[in-house]
Structure 1
Amino acid sequence: MKRRLAREIAVQSLYQMEMNEVEGQIAVDTVMEEARHDNEIEADVSGLGAIDSFTRELVAGVQEKREEIDRLLEEFLTGWQVDRLSRVDLQILRLAAYELEFRPEVPPKVVVNEAIELAKHFGTEESGKFVNGVLGRMIRERGKAPAAGEGAANHREGEPE
């Protein structure tokens, strides 16, 4: 399954929800349609249902836990406040914090690596470093650092996480 694509669509959907005040399902529908139109995904691709399902699960989870996620992020934003962050960086951090806190089956290193890639793709030049710093601190201080040999180094995209 192309979880990275699902995460990209989730970030775009979360951004659209925040900027245009639309509901999660509408935002996902819109972004999925744009991705199909831009040939990022093909309508007949096997696994499209899985991408759609995973995207909706992520968006709904972030939406449901948003207040808790924002409080959590506030703890690890040295010198920053959630409402002062770039809207793109904020959506990436929300998604990553959701996965770290509420999807324990996903290795923390995978979450961080995916978030850094999303930040490089959607954010500014400094977004990747910023996201890495915040998430790294969150993992260290909340005791979620992986044991030696665990994490993204042993994960291949397309394999179950």
Structure 2
Amino acid sequence: MRRRLAREIAVQSLYQMEMNAVDGRTAVDTVMEEARHENEIEADVRELDAAESFTRELVNGVESRLSEIDRMLETYLTGWQVDRLSRVDLQILRLAAFELQYGKEAPPKVVVNEAIELAKHFGTEESGKFVNGVLGRMIREGGVRTEPSDKPDETTTNSEGPTP
């Protein structure tokens, strides 16, 4: 649950960074504060604290490699350009591309499943399928890290599953 929460907060932070032209630290602090306020009854504060470190790692990683990630995404977007994507779908794809290429925490299948769930939660009806298609193509065409992950991720498997 902590990693899913961290990814949700990371997507919200990346969105806020883009829409409000703020730096990653400010965005994460703001979204974390909002998450604490919104979830104070439902979520254990310790869970939010544990998610914060992973959230910062994700946001800082995407922020530091933004141009590189966008160039990588352009390669796998068929008939689309990065600047024409929905801002929500773009942040989800950026986050997943970062994890697929540079992350060591989760296997590609988990990253794709999590991205699909984020797209369904934050995006439109078609977002999950779109994100699945782009990330599936990235995996099929070798746009991900090649070394295996050494740590399992805490997640549930999506019944739809990623495109291999």
When normalised by structure 2's length, the TM-score is: 0.84
1:118 aligns with 118
| Residue 58 (structure 1) aligned with residue 74 (structure 2) | no
Percentage of matched positions with identical amino acids? 76
> Structure 1 pair 109/145, CA: closer, same or farther in 2 (3 Å)?
farther
| Residue 86 (structure 1) aligned with residue 86 (structure 2) | yes
Deviation larger for 2-11 or 96-105: 96-105
2:101–2:145 CA contact under 8 A, matched in 1 = no
Q: Match for 1:39: what amino acid?
A: N
Deviation larger for 74-83 or 43-52: 43-52
Report 1:119-158 matches (<5 A): 119-142=119-142, 156-157=154-155
- By how many angstroms is 1:48 displaced? 3.1
Q: How many residues align?
A: 153
1:29 aligns with 29
1:12 aligns with 12
Deviations 1:7-28 (A, max 9, x none): 0000000000000001101101
**Alpha-carbon distance in structure 1 between the residues aligned to 2:91 and 2:19:** 11
1:89–1:131 CA contact under 8 A, matched in 2 = yes
> Structure 1 pair 56/143, CA: closer, same or farther in 2 (3 Å)?
closer
When normalised by structure 1's length, the TM-score is: 0.86
Give the alignment's Cα RMSD to 1 decimal. 2.5
- By how many angstroms is 1:6 displaced? 0.3
**Unaligned residue ranges in structure 1 (runs of 5+):** none
Deviations 1:62-97 (A, max 9, x none): 000111100000000000000000000000000000
**Alpha-carbon distance in structure 2 between the residues aligned to 1:46 and 1:84:** 38
3-state SS of the aligned residue for 2:39? Answer: coil
> Structure 1 pair 41/122, CA: closer, same or farther in 2 (3 Å)?
farther
**Alpha-carbon distance in structure 1 between the residues aligned to 2:41 and 2:114:** 19
